[in-house]
Chains A and B, each alone.
Chain A
Amino acid sequence: MKKVLGLALGILTAIGGFLDIGDLVTNAVVGSRFGLSLAWVVLVGVVGICLFAQMSGKVAAVSGRATFEIIRERLGPRTAGANLAASFLINLLTLTAEVGGIALALQLASSVEPRLWIPVAGLAVWLVVWRTKFSIMENVTGLVGLTLIVFAVAVFQLGPDWGTLADQAFQPSVPAQEGHAVYWYYAIALFGAAMTPYEVFFFSSGAVEEKWTVKDLSQSRLNVLVGFPFGGVLSVAIAACAAIVFLPQGIEVSSLSQIVLPVAMAGGKLALAVVIIGIVAATFGAALETSLSSGYTLAQFMGWSWGKFRRPTHAARFHLTMIICLVVAVAVLMTSVNPIAVTEFSVVFSAVALPLTYLPILVIANDPEYMGTHVNGRVTNGFALVYLVIIVSASAAAIPLMIVTGAGS
């Protein structure tokens, strides 16, 4: 019974923890402009993140070490250093977007200006990272984040024309008012949002925090293979809400306050309260994960002691890294930069950095020195190679498309 409960909790947390500010914004923007004609990208992204998250979890469980520790050892300090620089900067950008997302969600609840909430959000994230147990932190934000299921309920309550939605999803085409370049730019942004690198660093380091062993592999696989696809369904539900309400009226989503309107339309103030709680939980959870990921990546690369299972005094540089990253994120946001713009850039730059994250994981997952008999099988490697081609193509096309389309405008 305890095992079943643990499994259920793991799956529910994976669903609730799947969405972050990048998913919320990108799916709503895409839904308002392209309907569900980019839903296929969410499917591709979810399969990719399942494949690589599961792989990085396996590496951590079998070797007992997190990804970045092995990357440096296996690829050497120079290659690993380039990898670290790119991953760390993207992670910092994502952390900035998440802290901004918390402030915007709190503005919805209070109508108090986000710049007053930003330092509060930064401080709250630090306090939780400093004081709370890893498992509690992960489970609470994941479970509260589950309230975002209200987007899926709203889709049914809005009473859409299912035929139109199905046509958009299953016969995707570029809408007349949008160009092909913009369509592919948003396809890459959506892919980057689904496969954000920090999720993998967090997943593999979390496996070490929770002391996974080979015995835990089947449970972790189930968490990923069931939880993440349900998270993907919620992503599509956000896009569907925007497609139902905004697309027919020519409304383009450019703020978080617009994203909650279809939910209020479907379920009134109660649904509105639930979705705001969900957004706060999702962005707060992702801010915790990105803060920790910044500490994990740097500490693992530098060989410092790390982990929440250690007292802060025994992992001082790990905690200091997180504090500095939070201070930088808060400082950037206090310049009045638009958090939604930061989010849009963070998902596209995540796509640019994808090969740096996923190629080393694939290399290590095939190294018998670390994995013993648990090296990847042929089927997994086949899928992974297909994904490497997709990831490299998306990475190479992201910046040119950003320039050509004026960042999708």
Chain B
Amino acid sequence: MRVARAALAVVALATVAGCAVGSSSTRADDARALVDPLEQSSSAVATAQIAVGLLGDGDLTPAVTDTSLLDQNAVLEDAGFAVSTLVPTDATTSTWQADSLAAVREAQAAVVEARAWANGSGAGEEAVAAALDDSADRLEELTQRLEAAS
């Protein structure tokens, strides 16, 4: 009975220890961990591009555009959280993390700007679309770089 209890305690301890925050084992692991939120961000920006394009063409209502951009803002918030909570292995992956976080924040700023335009304030359609395009390019470039490193 004691042996069984001790074994159970060891298993529980090992499980808890496995959940502890610590460094990823390799740079490749860090790169892989950053690619997921970057892909999420690319998906959010691409959705925002569609919504902005449709509103500009008169095919979407401001209400649906607003809701769509708000939803994508939430996706970017989650992606930012995933990037910012990674514990980097070394200085190189720390730089990747900083670049990824900057790219996600830039995407969020572009979506926020788009939402302001959809609600009748902020920059014009061209500026909004350009900001989203730039953000999409940056996310794409960073994702490719990290995929190559993973």
| A binding-site residues for B, Cβ under 8 Å | 107-111, 245, 249-252, 254-255, 257-258, 260-261, 264-265, 268-269, 272, 276
Q: Which residue of A lies closest to B72 (CB)?
A: A255
- Residue contact B59 to A257, C-beta cutoff 8 Å: no
Binds A, one of B22-30, B45-53, B106-114: B45-53
Q: Report the Cα distance A245→B67, complex, angstroms.
A: 19
- Residue contact B60 to A258, C-beta cutoff 8 Å: no
- Residue contact B46 to A249, C-beta cutoff 8 Å: yes
Which of A109, A111, A252 has its CB near the most chain B CB atoms (within 10 A)? A111
- Residue contact B67 to A250, C-beta cutoff 8 Å: no
Q: Report the Cα distance A261→B138, complex, angstroms.
A: 24
Partner of B60, one of A250, A252, A254, A264: A264
Partner of A268, one of B40, B42, B58, B72: B58
- Residue contact B59 to A110, C-beta cutoff 8 Å: no
- Residue contact A269 to B59, C-beta cutoff 8 Å: yes
- Residue contact A108 to B50, C-beta cutoff 8 Å: no
Known A-B contacts A107-B67, A108-B67; the reply to A251 vs B47 at CB < 8 A is yes
Q: Report the Cα distance A110→B54, complex, angstroms.
A: 18
Residues of A within 8 A of B63 (CB): 108-111
Known A-B contacts A265-B54, A272-B59; the reply to A258 vs B46 at CB < 8 A is no
B75 at interface, CB cutoff 8 A: yes
Residues of B within 8 A of A268 (CB): 58-59
Partner of B50, one of A109, A265, A276: A265
Binary CB contact string for chain B from 104 to 128 against chain A (1 if under 8 A, 0 otherwise):
0000000000000000000000000
Residues of B within 8 A of A107 (CB): 67
Q: Report the Cα distance A147→B71, complex, angstroms.
A: 25
Q: Report the Cα distance A111→B60, complex, angstroms.
A: 13
Residues of B within 8 A of A250 (CB): 39, 42-43, 46
Q: What bracket does the count of chain B residues touching chain A fall in?
A: 20 to 34
Q: List 29 A-B contacts (CB under 8 A).
A: A107-B67, A108-B64, A111-B62, A111-B64, A111-B67, A249-B46, A250-B42, A250-B46, A251-B46, A252-B39, A252-B40, A255-B71, A255-B72, A257-B68, A258-B68, A260-B64, A261-B54, A261-B60, A264-B54, A264-B60, A264-B64, A265-B54, A265-B59, A269-B58, A269-B59, A269-B60, A269-B61, A272-B60, A272-B61
- The 10 A-B pairs of least Cβ separation, nearest first, read A255-B71, A111-B63, A257-B68, A268-B59, A111-B66, A257-B67, A251-B43, A252-B43, A249-B46, A251-B46
Residues of A within 8 A of B72 (CB): 255
Residues of A within 8 A of B43 (CB): 250-252
Additional A-B contact list (18), CB under 8 Å, known A250-B43, A250-B46, A269-B61 = A111-B64, A111-B67, A251-B50, A252-B40, A252-B43, A254-B75, A255-B71, A257-B68, A258-B47, A258-B71, A261-B47, A261-B50, A264-B59, A265-B50, A268-B59, A269-B60, A272-B64, A276-B64
CB distance from B75 to the nearest CB of A (A): 6
CB distance from B89 to the nearest CB of A (A): 22
Binary CB contact string for chain B from 9 to 47 against chain A (1 if under 8 A, 0 otherwise):
000000000000000000000000000000110110011
